[in-house]
Each structure stands twice: as structure tokens, then as C-alpha cells.
């Protein structure tokens, strides 16, 4: 017995393309079982409006410890001097 559906061809194409896209997405996702690398978390501390010499004007034990185990920029050349957010994006990328 033959059953026919009256579905327009564009809907069929969209359905097939969405299924194919879904399976391509699944194959691109990494497997948790096969992954042996561990990712180290990254913490970015950015202080807007904070002068460069404030760390020298007072005792900052916690920040000093973070700087000793991490890194500190001596100077930055801003991408967009009057806005902070574009500069944060350029630091992260």
C-alpha cells in the first residue's frame, strides 16, 4: 500500500537540510570520553579607571600574590581609548 503526503517540496528540503545540519553538528562536537586534556581556568582582572601606580601607593597583599603566580601588564596601548569594553575584547582575543 502506497502512502503519499502532500507536503510542498521546500518544506521537505528544509527538513532534510536541518537533519543533515544536526548530524554534522553532532560529529563536530568533541567526545568527553576521548578528551584527555584539561583546561586551566583563566581569570582576567581589569580595573577601569585604576591608575598604574595605585599598587605602589598601598599594601596589596592579595593582588601581589596573584601577580606573583600570574602576570601583570606594565602598560597597555588601548584599541579604543575612551571605551573599556572594546579593550577587554582585544585583551581576551
Is there a contact between 55 and 63 (Cβ–Cβ < 8 Å)?
A: yes
Residue at grid coordinates 576521548: 34
Quote the pLDDT of residue 36. 64
Residue pLDDT, tens place only, 5-60? 665 555 566 676 777 777 677 676 666 665 566 778 777 787 777 777 787 888 88
**Catalytic residue selected from 27, 58, 84, 93:** 84
Whole-model pTM: value is 0.41
Residue at grid coordinates 586551566: 40
**H helices present in the chain, as ranges:** 9-28, 54-57, 61-69, 85-92
C-alpha cell at 74: 606594565
Q: Is 93 a catalytic residue?
A: no
- CA gyration radius, the chain: 26
Mean pLDDT of 62-88: 80
Amino acid at each position: 500500500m502506497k502512502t503519499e503526503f502532500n507536503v510542498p517540496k521546500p518544506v521537505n528540503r528544509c527538513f532534510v537540510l536541518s537533519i543533515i545540519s544536526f548530524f554534522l553538528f553532532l560529529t563536530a562536537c568533541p567526545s568527553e570520553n576521548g578528551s584527555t586534556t584539561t583546561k586551566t581556568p583563566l581569570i582576567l582582572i581589569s580595573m577601569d579607571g585604576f591608575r598604574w601606580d595605585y599598587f605602589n601607593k598601598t599594601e596589596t597583599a592579595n593582588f601581589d600574590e596573584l601577580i606573583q603566580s600570574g602576570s601583570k601588564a606594565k602598560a597597555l596601548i588601548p584599541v579604543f581609548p575612551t571605551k573599556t569594553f572594546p579593550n577587554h575584547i582585544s585583551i581576551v582575543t
